[in-house]
Structure formats: C-alpha cells, structure tokens
Amino acid sequence: MSNLTLQKRDYNFFSMELDNKESSRKKRIRFFILLFLYIALIAGAYYLSDRTISTTQNKIDDLDAYLASEEVTAQRQQVTEKQREIQNLHQFDLSLQAFNQHLESISIIGTEYIGQINSAVPQGLYFENISMDAQMLQIQGIAPSRQIIAEYLNNIQALGLFQDVHISDITTVTTSDETSENNEITYTFAMSCQLKDVMEQ
C-alpha cells in the first residue's frame, strides 16, 4: 500500500436538482409578492379614486342643495331684478343723453328774436295768430293792402333768420258800414317761415 492516504469524499448526485427546486421556489415567492403588491396598488388606487369621486359628488350635492335653497333663490331673483333695473337705467340714460344733445342743438327763441320779427312789421299790418313748432313759424295777419303784405314779406326775408318765407294765401275781406255807403276792403294772409339755425332737430 502506498503511503498516500486516499481521502474519502462523499458525492451527492441530487444536489443540483435540490438547488434548482430552491431557486424555483424563491422565484415563485418573489412573483407572488410582486403580484400581491401590484394588486394592492391597483386596489388602493381604485379605493382612492372612488373616495375622491364620492367626496366630489357629495360636495356637488351640497352645492346643488344650497343653490336650490330659498335664500339663494331669493338672492338670485334680486340680482336679476337689479340687472333689469340697471339695463332700464342704462336705456333711460341713453334717452336722456339723446334728449340733452337735442336740447343743446336747439337755439331758444327769446325776446330779442321776437323783437326782430316785430320790427319788420310795416304800419297798418296786424297779427291775428302766430304759431311755431321746431321747424316752422306760421303767421296769420291782416293788412289794408297787398303792397303792405309784400313789404312785410321782403322785411322778413331781409332779417336772414329764415331759410324760406312763403305766403300761401291772401284773401280779400270786405266790411260794410251801415251808416256809410263806402265798403272797407282789407286783406288777410297766411305766411310760413322755415326756421334757419333755430329749433333744428
């Protein structure tokens, strides 16, 4: 026998298979752990989402109930009425502004203006009626002759206050005197004067 002593070794021919089983078992454990975590995350996200939706819906319901309350309805009606009043006031303000501009554009006929018209009256001519609107001055009068009426027409035109002066009617009027055989003849007339730079619209 040799001096070398042979060491005895034990060989386990099933060790590789046992290692593979152990590794497979650890992989399965890791897979189930990851699957559990994934399911837990999904469930947590769903729960949080459901809670958020539920909370939001509760807030919406509370807000709807508040908006449908009598207090809010009354306030809403007051706001609507105030808006209507503001709109009416705005329209009234526009009307007032337009009326004010109209008034500012009107030259008021004063005593000086009337005095100029009277200063053009020749002797013997008298007024029976004077009427005036925003555009026209109308005079009805009486005169002893047609010449005096024509003189008054020229005098009015010479004032430069009117765009157009027109005599629309001259009528002969005969008055009889019972104590005398002579009949007095007079003439009535109607004159229209279109105003210039006065009472314009």
Return the pLDDT at 1: 46
| Contact predicate 152/120, CB 8 Å | yes
Can you give the CATH number for the domain in which 119 is found?
3.30.1360.100
How many CA atoms within 13 Å lie on the side-chain side of 103?
A: 6
In a domain, 3, yes or no: no
Q: Which domain holds residue 156?
A: 111-195
* 39-42-47 Cα angle (round to 5): 120
Q: How many domains does the chain have?
A: 1
Q: Does residue 162 lie within any of the structural domains?
A: yes
Residue 140 is assigned to a structural domain of this protein: yes
Confidence (pLDDT) at 153: 92
- Whose tokens are 């009326």? That residue is 99
Asked if 170 contacts 139 with a C-beta cutoff of 8 angstroms, the reply is no
Closest CA to 188 of 176, 170, 175, 174: 170
Closest CA to 196 of 127, 113, 129: 113
Instruction: Give the C-alpha separation, 201 to 196, whole Å.
Output: 11
97: enclosing H helix or E strand: helix 70-105
Compute the mean pLDDT over every residue in the chain, rounded to the nearest whole number. Answer: 79
> What tokens were used for 181?
């055989």
Domain assignment present for 145: yes
Q: How confident is the model at residue 185 (pLDDT cuts 50, 70, 90)?
A: confident
Rounded to 10°, the helix 111-119/146-159 angle is: 140
Pair 168, 191: CB distance under 8 Å: yes
Instruction: Give the percent of the chain with pLDDT over 90.
Output: 10
Residue 60 forms part of a structural domain: no
CB 140, CB 168: distance < 8 Å: no
Find the mean pLDDT for residues 63-76. Answer: 83
Better-scored residue on pLDDT, 199 or 110: 110
